[in-house]
């Protein structure tokens, strides 16, 4: 059965480990100061958001312009959040913005990419659960 497991799926779920470690630190270990914890969560989540956006880009073939723009929007959003964070914008609002963007990105991914596809395994078993878990972490404010 292991030979059928997609390594990308396993690595995707391993991406939750940093969230789990930060959660454990915040509630049990108290080694990392809160500002560093919050900054890490913001930047790590932005990496995920930008990575998801970049998945739409395929430089080997021509893709529709709306998908090119849609793939670029997460990078633009990331710049906006980084600037707000550098200017010490309310951290709880930043977490809320990240959660909203992740959920919006999830909905539009389904509409633009998965709705017409017969193969929705990646969406239902990787994309949807991971996005919901990350959003939950963001909304409980660590």
17-71: per-residue pLDDT in tens?
999 999 898 888 888 898 999 999 999 999 999 999 887 666 667 888 888 888 8
Domain boundaries, the chain: 2-139
Query: Is residue 75 scored above 80 in pLDDT?
Result: yes
pLDDT of residue 92: 93
Q: For the beta carbon of residue 124, count every other beta carbon within 10 angstroms.
A: 11
Query: Is residue 117 scored above 90 in pLDDT?
Result: no
Query: Is residue 2 scored above 70 in pLDDT?
Result: no
DSSP H or E stretch at residue 47: helix 34-54
pTM over 0.85: yes
CA–CA separation, 74 and 56 (whole Å): 11
Instruction: Give 65-118 as a DSSP string.
Output: HHHHHHHHHHHHHHHHHHHHHHTT--HHHHHHHHHHHHHHHHHHHIIIIITT-S
Query: Is residue 1 scored above 50 in pLDDT?
Result: no
Average of pLDDT values for 116-130? 90
């Amino acid at each position: 059965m292991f030979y059928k497991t997609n390594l990308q799926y396993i690595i995707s779920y391993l991406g939750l480990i940093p969230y789990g470690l930060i959660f454990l630190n915040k509630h049990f270990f108290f080694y990392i100061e809160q500002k560093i914890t919050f900054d890490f969560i913001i930047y790590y989540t932005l990496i995920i958001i930008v990575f998801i956006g970049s998945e739409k880009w395929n430089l080997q073939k021509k893709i529709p312009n709306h998908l090119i723009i849609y793939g670029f929007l997460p990078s633009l959003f990331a710049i906006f959040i980084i600037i707000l964070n550098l200017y010490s914008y309310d951290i709880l609002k930043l977490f809320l913005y990240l959660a909203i963007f992740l959920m919006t990105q999830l909905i539009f991914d389904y509409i633009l990419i998965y709705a017409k596809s017969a193969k929705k395994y990646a969406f239902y078993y990787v994309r949807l659960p991971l996005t919901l878990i990350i959003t939950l972490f963001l909304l409980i404010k660590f």
